[in-house]
Each structure stands twice: as structure tokens, then as C-alpha cells.
Amino acid sequence: MVAQKIFGLNLTPMVNGQRYIDTGNYLVNNFIVFLALLLVVCVSSFTYKYIEVKGQEAGKRLLNRMSVRDKLPLLKD
């Protein structure tokens, strides 16, 4: 809808109450679909590498610290 306002074209028509992206050219429409898919894959790859894996590593370190603390009788509360 932002591109529609920038270019002044009706790129997102309503059909039966649902909004669709349509440039009027099926090749451009397919290019937009593949571009969106590529964007999703890139963003998910980034979040996996820098958020999910880092969170798993932090969780493992936390569990290791907790298990070491449980094994030492002097550190128990």
C-alpha cells in the first residue's frame, strides 16, 4: 500500500473483500512473490543464527551452572 501511494498506481485492489497485490503483469507479480520469499528466508536465517542459536547456547550455559551448583553440597541453599 505504501508503494501504491508512492507510484500513484492501484497495486492492491480489493476482490471479494480481500486485498491482493496486482501490478497488471504476471511476470512482475511472480517476481514480487519470489522477492518476498527471498526476504523471508534471509530474515529467518538471520534470526536463527543471531537469536535462536544464541538463546540455545545461553540456556545450555544456565543449565550447566545449575547442575554444577546442585552437585556441590556447600553451595546449596
pLDDT, residue 38, reads: 98
H helix runs in 8-51, sequence order = 26-47
pLDDT, residue 66, reads: 81
Condensed to tens digits (0 to 9), the pLDDT of residues 18-39 reads 888 888 899 999 999 999 999 9
Cβ atoms 49, 42 nearer than 8 A: no
pLDDT, residue 30, reads: 95
pTM of the full structure: 0.64
pLDDT, residue 50, reads: 95
Helix and strand element counts for the chain (H, E): 3, 2
pLDDT < 50: residue spans in the chain? none
Q: Which residues contact 12 (CB under 8 A, 6 or more apart)?
A: 1, 4, 19, 20, 21, 22
